[in-house]
Structure 1
Amino acid sequence: MNELEENQQTVKKSGFGRGLIFGVIAGLSIAILAGVVLLNVFYHKGFVHIGVNGEIYVQDTATTEDEGIGSEVEAKLNAMDSLMDLFYMEDVDTDTAKEMIYKAYLASYGDKYTVYYTPDECKNLLESTTGKFEGIGAVCRKNDDGTVEIMDAYEDAPAYAAGLRNGDIITTVDGTDITGLDLTSTVALIKGDKGTSVHLDAIRDETAFSVDVVRDEIHTQTVKYEMRENQIGYLSISEFDDVTTQQYKDALQALEDAGMQGLVIDLRNNPGGVLDTVVKMLDYTLPDGLIVYTENKSGKRTEYKGTDGHELDIPIAVLVNGNSASASEIFAGAMQDYDKGEIIGTQTFGKGIVQTIKPLTDGSAIKLTTAKYYTPNGQNIHGQGVTPDITVEQGTDENEDTQWNTAVEYLMEEMQK
């Protein structure tokens, strides 16, 4: 009988007894950067494997022996569980109760990036880097007020076909109020097998409405591009997934073949993604050299460098705003430090820390903050963001993109030199 099985048996005998809070930590740890990257570089006893939503995965054989506050918590939980068994009048879903205890324990640390993932949530998190999944076809973000907003409803996907649009606020998923849930948990509720349906309640312009969306297989198109006037290429990146690097290179090749003389890279509302992806894209864009580095609490520094010998040699402008986070800020920060492109827009989000995911033996996992990351010139942007070279607020007129107009003005001047 393994340790997990022993823990499960104890729970059956005495409610939330020994082993309820502290599972066996598997010999695998995964590090996440902001917000989800497959990077094969040596790190301690294993290798870095960075995944989505801006995330670095560091695999090694570390184990944890520190019991922390386990004994004190265990004693009180046993006492509380006994009282519930004796006096509580309703039936209790013990599996749900246990998952909520785990989530509450990590929430007590006061770090919104340190969370517990159920087995299903962990599975969805690890799958989210691939650029292919089964769901409704919409990119969501968690706003400062706790609401979940649709940032990009793919036009050829079920969410758009059902009537959901960018800017819609999702309030419930299949009747579950998502207030207080972290974004990964919310996405886990929305995603599901192809052909199944999910019921969403939402709000648009203060008007509530509901939709039923039939899930399908979604192939994420993270890069959109087109040639605009004056031979200026426009390239928008919605997030940094495993598929984004090739999509980025393909888009640049198509624009170059069309005679591109200047380039606008739009990172507005890009929440981040896979570290390995943004490193490869910057390697293709910048001259060889340091792209980003991380430091843990002991001061250990890990560097990520460009080495492919390729760089873009045209005027570039990068658009950012307050929703450009994590890997987007790595991209903007490196471009700024190398003076390779003019950063235009508003202050970015300010997510400059690394989380580590440590899977447990039952398929669940915990994510905890473990390091800070720095731009090539040594700037840590956590809590402050990247400051644009040209600050431009977006106007209220939906038909006029003032930040794009500013980028065009800048590029036209540079293209004349």
Structure 2
Amino acid sequence: MNQSAKSYSPLQVALIGGAIATTATISLFGTAWTRGVRAALALQDSPKVIVDQVWQLVNHEYVDGKFNQQDWQATRQSLLSKDYSSREEAYTAIREALQKLGDPYTRFMDPKQFEALTSQTSGEVSGIGIRMEVNEKTQRLTVVEAIENSPALKAGIKAGDEILAIDGKPTLKMKVDDASKLIRGKAGTPIKLKLGRAGQTAFDLKLTRANIEVPTVRYTLRQEGNRRVGYIRLREFSAHAADQMQRAIRDLNTKKVDSYVLDLRGNPGGLLQASIEIARMWYNDGGIVKTVDRVGGTEETKANRTALTNRPLAVLVDGNSASASEILTGALKDNKRAVVVGGQTFGKALVQSVHELADGSGLAVTIAHYYTPAGTDINHKGIAPDIKLDLTEAQERQLASNPDLIGTKSDPQYARAIAILSNNNFAQPPANQPTRPMSRADSLKF
């Protein structure tokens, strides 16, 4: 999906993840309504406009029509009877009102928090395209990777380069977050870095910021005994995740893989529609997810004969695999398309709608409950893997300190998946289900 979350006006997305998990939905409040609110805000510049906008959205959309036994009309009267000396005071009142609903996923975001959310779910950043860390040994800000097709990679920045200064500001003892704030900026604007590289004297490098697609899918071909295994790790379901997954599967198909391992461990969620599109890449027929709204209205989403492969598949999950990860895992498990290996998943089966408010702040509202294709409610329970294998604390520490070991034989959950794929074929769909390449038109049907 090439369209970023920010391109919707008004922005409205449906959340299914613990931290992010979003997808575009149809707004109950049209563009004209939002424009009207913005016009009112411009005329009044009153925090009460935002307060009432939040109340209206919850009143129209919240999944619990009884509002957790709260008198929601009385809540509105209370909110609007107050005089707010600042927007921050109004924000506090909004959060206090929402807290009474007893739903941590229905939440208010100030403009900075909302911008961070939409940036993350869009799958894009505006900057130079590097991942960096503070090196434990040198305590210097160090490049871990220059992202594909980024200004950094095109300028020759390499893993291991030390960032000594950003626009003349020394980075010694600077935190990664602080450095990121300096590096990010509007596409087309210039930035100058002073870099240190082994065997060379420090040098300056001028770059121009750009909008960069953040890689959320990592994949590789692994030779495991006499099997060729396509290992794919999906970090989150961003707006570009489906396109990236499609490219990964297609590339691995050309390499004649015998089976796949899809790693969803630590994946907190992402775009609901991305999880649906990715599920459709793995099987041709069967359900994916069912959602139920506050009046009992149901919507079922199914596969649409656009699978890219029918090779055996194992899925790796853990307690941090949430929401969109659970939709995908539940779909693959219930359709007997994959063997699921690892720990019990997080257990979040609620769908949120996210709205951009008139002053740039945002609101997430729980609008529906979802169920796996078999009708299972996983809320507060999670998905039980077919093969339960929890990592010990020592194993978790080893993988955390040596990320290159993830998805190798030194990774116990991956190793178990490989053993299962080598010994049976139940993770492969029936041979009478042909696959066809997915077209770009398919991938953009959101």
- Shorter chain as denominator, the TM-score bin is 0.5 to 0.7
Partner of 1:104: 96
TM, length-normalised to structure 2: 0.61
Cα distance in 2, alignment partners of residues 35 and 188 from structure 1: 25
Please say if 1:414 is aligned against 2:411. no
Partner of 1:72: 78
Unaligned runs of 5+ in 2: 1-8, 34-55, 60-71, 133-142, 153-158, 164-174, 192-208, 399-404, 429-446
Please say if 1:340 is aligned against 2:330. no
AA matched with 1:407: A
Cα distance in 2, alignment partners of residues 269 and 191 from structure 1: 25
What whole-Å deviation, never above 9, does each CA across 1:172-228 have from its counterpart, x for those lacking one? Answer: 976xxxxxxxxxxxx99997657899xxxxxxxxxxxxxxxxx98553111111111
AA matched with 1:126: T
Cα distance in 2, alignment partners of residues 221 and 172 from structure 1: 19
Cα distance in 1, alignment partners of residues 363 and 277 from structure 2: 28
What is the SS of the residue equivalent to 1:246?
Answer: helix
Aligned partners of 1:242 and 1:277 also within 8 Å: yes
AA matched with 2:97: Y
Please say if 1:387 is aligned against 2:397. no
Partner of 1:225: 219
What whole-Å deviation, never above 9, does each CA across 1:278-303 have from its counterpart, x for those lacking one? Answer: 11111121122321110012110012
Aligned partners of 1:394 and 1:401 also within 8 Å: no
From 13, 34, 55, the counterpart of 2:22 = 55
What is the SS of the residue equivalent to 1:322?
Answer: coil
Cα distance in 1, alignment partners of residues 176 and 103 from structure 2: 24
Cα distance in 1, alignment partners of residues 262 and 117 from structure 2: 27
Partner of 2:15: 33
Partner of 1:361: 358
Aligned partners of 2:16 and 2:272 also within 8 Å: no
Partner of 1:268: 265
What is the SS of the residue equivalent to 2:277?
Answer: helix
Aligned partners of 1:292 and 1:304 also within 8 Å: yes
| 1:137 Cα deviation from its structure 2 partner | 6.4
What whole-Å deviation, never above 9, does each CA across 1:366-410 have from its counterpart, x for those lacking one? Answer: 212121111111112111111000001124242621101100100
| 1:359 Cα deviation from its structure 2 partner | 3.7
What is the SS of the residue equivalent to 2:220?
Answer: strand
AA matched with 1:116: F
Cα distance in 2, alignment partners of residues 173 and 74 from structure 1: 38
Partner of 2:196: none
Aligned partners of 2:16 and 2:323 also within 8 Å: yes
Closer/same/farther in 2, CA of residues 366 and 98 from structure 1, 3 Å limit: same
Partner of 1:211: none
Partner of 2:369: 372
Closer/same/farther in 2, CA of residues 32 and 72 from structure 1, 3 Å limit: same
Cα distance in 2, alignment partners of residues 360 and 405 from structure 1: 47
Please say if 1:130 is aligned against 2:122. yes
What is the SS of the residue equivalent to 1:69?
Answer: helix
Cα distance in 1, alignment partners of residues 160 and 245 from structure 2: 24
- Identical aligned pairs, as a percentage? 30
Partner of 1:257: 254
| 1:68 Cα deviation from its structure 2 partner | 4.1
AA matched with 2:216: T
| 1:60 Cα deviation from its structure 2 partner | 3.0
- CA RMSD in angstroms comes to 3.8
Closer/same/farther in 2, CA of residues 378 and 29 from structure 1, 3 Å limit: farther
What is the SS of the residue equivalent to 1:59?
Answer: coil
AA matched with 2:417: A
Cα distance in 2, alignment partners of residues 219 and 56 from structure 1: 17
Closer/same/farther in 2, CA of residues 374 and 173 from structure 1, 3 Å limit: same
Partner of 2:52: none
What whole-Å deviation, never above 9, does each CA across 1:51-74 have from its counterpart, x for those lacking one? Answer: x92113322344848754232344
Partner of 2:288: 291
AA matched with 1:53: I
Cα distance in 2, alignment partners of residues 188 and 105 from structure 1: 32
Unaligned runs of 5+ in 1: 1-26, 37-51, 82-91, 140-152, 164-170, 175-186, 198-214
Aligned partners of 2:269 and 2:321 also within 8 Å: yes
Aligned partners of 1:272 and 1:325 also within 8 Å: yes
Matches within 5 A, 1:199-218: 218=212
Cα distance in 2, alignment partners of residues 352 and 313 from structure 1: 28
Please say if 1:237 is aligned against 2:227. no
| 1:309 Cα deviation from its structure 2 partner | 3.9
Partner of 2:346: 349
Partner of 1:282: 279
Cα distance in 2, alignment partners of residues 130 and 393 from structure 1: 32
What whole-Å deviation, never above 9, does each CA across 1:319-347 have from its counterpart, x for those lacking one? Answer: 00001111111111000001011000000
Matches within 5 A, 1:146-157: 155-156=145-146
TM, length-normalised to structure 1: 0.65
What is the SS of the residue equivalent to 1:224?
Answer: strand
Please say if 1:116 is aligned against 2:108. yes
Cα distance in 2, alignment partners of residues 294 and 58 from structure 1: 13
AA matched with 1:96: E
Aligned partners of 1:352 and 1:381 also within 8 Å: yes
Closer/same/farther in 2, CA of residues 192 and 368 from structure 1, 3 Å limit: farther
Cα distance in 2, alignment partners of residues 415 and 288 from structure 1: 19
Cα distance in 2, alignment partners of residues 306 and 267 from structure 1: 20
Cα distance in 2, alignment partners of residues 249 and 263 from structure 1: 14
